[in-house]
């Protein structure tokens, strides 16, 4: 059986991308095809190279063209795409072809704290400022609207009145590390 091939798009540190690489290293049915970044000096590219995973850098003008990403993924026989800290809108043409094949990780309980500008610590600041009692992560399919695609899974953490933005960030990172790989695996194996 051919393994399902996953491309990971990431713009930053890449702790989630690296975690996915480790999780699927010896997997019997899923493998990582490449890591794509739109930032030339993104730490994720350096870390992935060390793990012998193919890395690709493309400028924002290239990745904003749907047909470019379609061709790229076809050439590399990619079945699924995971957006792990990828800070760019995915072009519609690409979403149409990869419908329900692009999975995004978002650091809040969508539909709350999603949409334009809601990424990284912006999300956690807003959650803490609003004195929310809980937050969490959402793993969802990508559609034409930012953070509005069908939700695959969500995981929660409590927020205490003494929690700082950094405390919340740590809790969210820990949820991401625990759950993203297994949800991606179950989604691809179609048992979610």
Instruction: Give catalytic residue positions.
Output: 106
CB 137 within 8 A of CB 154: yes
Which residue number, 2 or 36, has a Cβ lying nearer to ligand GRF? 36
DSSP per residue, 16-44: HHHHHHHHHTT-SSEEEEEEEESSTT-HH
Evaluate the omega torsion of the peptide bond into residue 191 and state whether it is cis, within 30 degrees of 0. Answer: no
CB 172 within 8 A of CB 155: no
Of 7-15, 63-71, 144-152, 159-167, the window that binds ligand GRF (rule: CB under 6 A) is 7-15
Of 12-20, 29-37, 67-75, 140-148, the window that binds ligand GRF (rule: CB under 6 A) is 12-20
Q: What binding mask, one character per residue, do residues 106-145 give for ligand GRF by CB under 6 A, x or -?
A: xx------------x-------------------------
Of 10-18, 71-79, 149-157, 160-168, the window that binds ligand GRF (rule: CB under 6 A) is 10-18
Which residue number, 3 or 152, has a Cβ lying nearer to ligand GRF? 152
Q: Which of 6, 7, 8, 14 binds ligand GRF (CB under 6 A)?
A: 14
CB 9 within 8 A of CB 83: yes
Helix axes 15-24, 165-188, angle to 10 degrees: 30
Asked if 84 interacts with ligand GRF (CB under 6 A), we say yes
Q: Which of 6, 7, 10, 45 binds ligand GRF (CB under 6 A)?
A: 10
Asked if 177 interacts with ligand GRF (CB under 6 A), we say no
Residue 41's CB is within 10 A of a number of other CB atoms, namely: 8
Q: Which of 15, 64, 112, 177 binds ligand GRF (CB under 6 A)?
A: 15
Which residue number, 3 or 39, has a Cβ lying nearer to ligand GRF? 39
Of 153, 145, 71, 140, give the one whose Cα is nearest residue 101. Answer: 140
CA distances from 116 to 77, 120, 128, 148, 160 (A): 31, 12, 18, 11, 27
Residue ranges in contact with ligand GRF by CB under 6 A:
10, 12-17, 84-85, 105-107, 120, 176
């Amino acid at each position: 059986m051919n393994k399902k091939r996953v491309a990971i798009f990431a713009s930053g540190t890449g702790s989630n991308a690296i975690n996915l690489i480790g999780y699927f290293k010896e997997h019997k049915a899923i493998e990582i095809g490449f890591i794509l970044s739109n930032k030339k000096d993104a730490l994720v590219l350096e870390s992935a190279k060390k793990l012998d995973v193919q890395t690709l850098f493309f400028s924002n003008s290239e990745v904003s063209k749907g047909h470019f990403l379609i061709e790229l993924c076809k050439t590399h026989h990619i079945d699924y795409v995971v957006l792990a800290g990828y800070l760019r809108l995915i072009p519609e043409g690409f979403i149409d072809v990869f419908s329900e094949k692009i999975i995004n990780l978002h650091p809040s309980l969508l539909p709350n704290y999603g949409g334009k500008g809601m990424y990284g610590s912006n999300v956690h600041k807003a959650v803490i400022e609003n004195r929310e009692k809980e937050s969490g992560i959402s793993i969802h399919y990508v559609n034409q609207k930012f953070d509005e695609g069908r939700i695959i899974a969500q995981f929660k953490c409590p927020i205490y009145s003494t929690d700082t933005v950094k405390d919340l960030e740590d809790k969210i990172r820990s949820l991401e590390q625990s759950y993203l790989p297994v949800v991606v695996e179950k989604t691809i194996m179609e048992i979610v």
